[in-house]
Amino acid sequence: MRILITGGTVVTATEIMRAEVLIDDGTVVALYGGEGGGVADAMARTAIELGVDTTIDAAGKYVLPGGVDVHTHMELPFGGTYASDTFESGTRAAAFGGTTTIVDFAVQTIGEPMMDGYEEWMAKADGNAAIDYGFHMIVSDVNDQTLKEMDILMGEGVTSFKLFMAYPGVLYSTDGQIFRAMQRAAENGSTIMMHAENGIVIDVLREQALARGETDPIHHSVTRPPITEGEATHRAIAYAELAGCPLYVVHLSAKEALEEIVAARDRGSNVFAETCPQYLFLGWRNLEEPDFEGSKYVCSTPVRSHEQGHQEALWTGLATNDLQVVSTDHCPFCFNDHPTLGTQKKLGLGDFTKIPNGLPGVEERFALIYHGAIAEGRLSLNRFVEVVATTPAKMFGLYPKKGTIAVGSDADIVIFDPNAVSRFSAENIHMDVDYTCYEGMEVVGKIETVLSKGQIIIEDGEYRGQKGDGVYLERGTSQNLL
C-alpha cells in the first residue's frame, strides 16, 4: 500500500516545510519539499510513476506527527469501579483526537507478582486497540521479588516504573520502598515515574474536612493544597538524585511543584515532568459547578484555584522546557450511571472522598493544546508538536519510530485544517463516557484525517480501522536524558 500526501505543510519539532510525504508499507519512505514545490512536484511525479494506491490532498493543511499520549488508564480499577473506556473504545477515541500512540499503566496487585499485572494488562489490550500502545508498570509492592521483576520487565519493553506517594493503603509506597526502586532503576537504566503528593498529610486534611461537614467536590482540591504536591516533588527529586536514576513527575499541577522541577533541572539532574490539559484549562470554578457537576473535574493531583497563577505558570513551563510533555491521565468515569459499570462519579454524593479520581481527555488533548499554543499564542507550532508527540516518544524510548515525520518513521500522521473550528460536546465525543470537561468550548483547527502505520483510520469523521490494528510496542530506555 503506497500513499502520497501532497500539497501540505509538514510540521515536526524542528521544521515547517512545504513537502510531499510518500508512505510505503506503513512507513514514511520519502519526504521531499521546498518553496515553490519544484522538488515536491518532481517527487509527486516519481511517486505516480512508482504507482500510488492513494493520494491525499493536504493543500492548505498541516501534516503533523500523530500524537503520543504517555499517560492513560484504560479499564483501570479505582474506588470500587473501573475507568469506563476499554482499550477498544479508548484507543479509538484517541485516534479520533489525533493520537496514534498511547502508553498505558499496567498495575501490580499488592501481594502478587508484578509480572501477573503486566500479563493481565497485555491481555486486556491484545486484539482490541485501534492504535499502537506500550505499558509503564505501576509498582504497588516493592520487595526483593519486585525489584528482580523490574529487570525482567525491561526485557519486555517496559522501561518505566511508577510509584505513588499518595493513596495510603492502596497504591502508596513508603519513602524506603521508593528509594529501593529508584536504586534499582539507576542500575537497570529505567525511569521512575512519580505521583508526587504527600498522601499521609492529605488523608489527615480529608478526615478533618469531612468531620466539619465539608463534603462537596471542591474540597477534593482544598484538601490537597499545592504545598502537598510541592513537598512530595521536592522529596522525590532528592531521593532520585541520591539514587542516581531519572525521575519523571506525572500530572504536575501546582506551581510549587514546578519550582522544584526547575531547581533540579538547573542543577543538571535528570528530572522531567508532564502536565495535562485539565491543569492548563480547568480549575476551581469547574469544581464549584452546582448539582454535583463539579465531580466531573475530580482527579489527582487536583485542578487548582484560578486565582493563584498555577495555569499561567504551567504554560510558561511548557514554553521554557521546564515542563517537557503534555499527556492526559485519561481515566474517565461517567457522571450519570454507566450502562454496564453502574454508578461512578455519584458514588461520591455527600462524600467527596468517594468520588472516583479521574477524568476523560485522550480525545481532546491534541486539539486543546494546539488551540492553547496557536490561538492563545502560548507556544510555537514546533513546540506544540514537541510536547504532544516528539518529546513523549523520546522520553519513553519510542523515537523516531513514533513522534515525528521522517524517513523510516511509522506513518502515524494527522492531516490538520488550521482554518477550521471544532467544538467539544458530549454529543460528538467517542470516549465511553457521558461528558467532556470542555463542553461547548470552540477551538481553532480540525483533525481531518488520521493515519496509523500508513493506514487511514479516521476520515470524514468516520473510523475506518479495525480493533486489533494497534499492536504492543516494546520500548527502549529514555532517549531524553541530560
Binding mask 275-314 for Zn ion (x = CB under 5 A): ----------------------------------------
* Nearer to Zn ion among residue 195 and residue 206 (C-beta): 195
CB of 454 to Zn ion, least distance (A): 31
Q: Which of residues 64-93 bind Zn ion (CB under 5 A)?
A: none
Q: Report the C-alpha gap between 222 and 225 in whole angstroms.
A: 6
Strand, helix or coil for residue 350? coil
CB of 171 to Zn ion, least distance (A): 10
* Nearer to Zn ion among residue 329 and residue 386 (C-beta): 329
Closest CA to 18 of 38, 2, 47: 38
Closest CA to 69 of 10, 157, 134: 134
What residue has cell string 448539582? Answer: 291
* Nearer to Zn ion among residue 88 and residue 104 (C-beta): 104
Of 300-308, 324-332, 368-376, 442-450, which part binds Zn ion (CB under 5 A)? 324-332
Of 152-160, 216-224, 264-272, 329-337, which part binds Zn ion (CB under 5 A)? 329-337
* Nearer to Zn ion among residue 159 and residue 327 (C-beta): 327
- Other CB atoms within 10 Å distance of the CB of residue 214: 14
CB of 140 to Zn ion, least distance (A): 14
CB of 195 to Zn ion, least distance (A): 7
CB of 328 to Zn ion, least distance (A): 9
* Nearer to Zn ion among residue 88 and residue 329 (C-beta): 329
Of 114-122, 209-217, 226-234, 321-329, which part binds Zn ion (CB under 5 A)? 321-329
* Nearer to Zn ion among residue 69 and residue 231 (C-beta): 69
Strand, helix or coil for residue 12? coil
Q: Report the C-alpha gap between 117 and 105 in whole angstroms.
A: 10
The yes or no reply on residue 329 touching Zn ion (CB under 5 A) is: yes
- Contact by Cβ (8 Å): 97, 130: no
H-helix or E-strand spanning residue 88: helix 87-96
* Nearer to Zn ion among residue 23 and residue 171 (C-beta): 171
Closest CA to 384 of 399, 368, 396, 402: 368
CB of 275 to Zn ion, least distance (A): 13
The yes or no reply on residue 274 touching Zn ion (CB under 5 A) is: no
CB of 401 to Zn ion, least distance (A): 24
Q: Report the C-alpha gap between 190 and 372 in whole angstroms.
A: 32
Q: Which residue is nearest to Zn ion (CB)?
A: 329
Residues binding Zn ion: number (CB under 5 A): 1
CB of 220 to Zn ion, least distance (A): 15
Closest CA to 391 of 15, 63, 67, 9: 67
CA dihedral (77, 83, 88, 91) positive or negative: negative
Of 87-95, 322-330, 337-345, 402-410, which part binds Zn ion (CB under 5 A)? 322-330
Closest CA to 142 of 159, 121, 163: 163
What DSSP assignment string belongs to 291-303? TTGGGGG--SSPP
- Contact by Cβ (8 Å): 36, 86: no
Of 7-15, 266-274, 328-336, 381-389, which part binds Zn ion (CB under 5 A)? 328-336
Burial class (CB in 10 A: 0-12, 13-18, 19+), 461: exposed
Q: Which of residues 338-397 bind Zn ion (CB under 5 A)?
A: none
Of 41-49, 85-93, 140-148, 323-331, which part binds Zn ion (CB under 5 A)? 323-331
CB of 71 to Zn ion, least distance (A): 6
* Nearer to Zn ion among residue 192 and residue 415 (C-beta): 192
Angle, CA of 12, 327 and 108, to the nearest 5°: 130
Helix axes 226-243, 255-266, angle to 10 degrees: 20
Residues 6+ apart with CB under 8 A from 52: 2, 3, 4, 22
Q: Report the C-alpha gap between 338 and 435 in whole angstroms.
A: 11
Given phi > 0 = left and psi -120 to 50 = alpha, else beta, which region is 43? alpha
- Contact by Cβ (8 Å): 260, 234: yes
CB of 327 to Zn ion, least distance (A): 9
* Nearer to Zn ion among residue 62 and residue 161 (C-beta): 161
Of 11-19, 128-136, 327-335, 455-463, which part binds Zn ion (CB under 5 A)? 327-335
Of 59-67, 135-143, 238-246, 326-334, which part binds Zn ion (CB under 5 A)? 326-334
* Nearer to Zn ion among residue 328 and residue 449 (C-beta): 328
* Nearer to Zn ion among residue 149 and residue 329 (C-beta): 329
Residues lying near Zn ion in the complex (CB under 5 A): 329
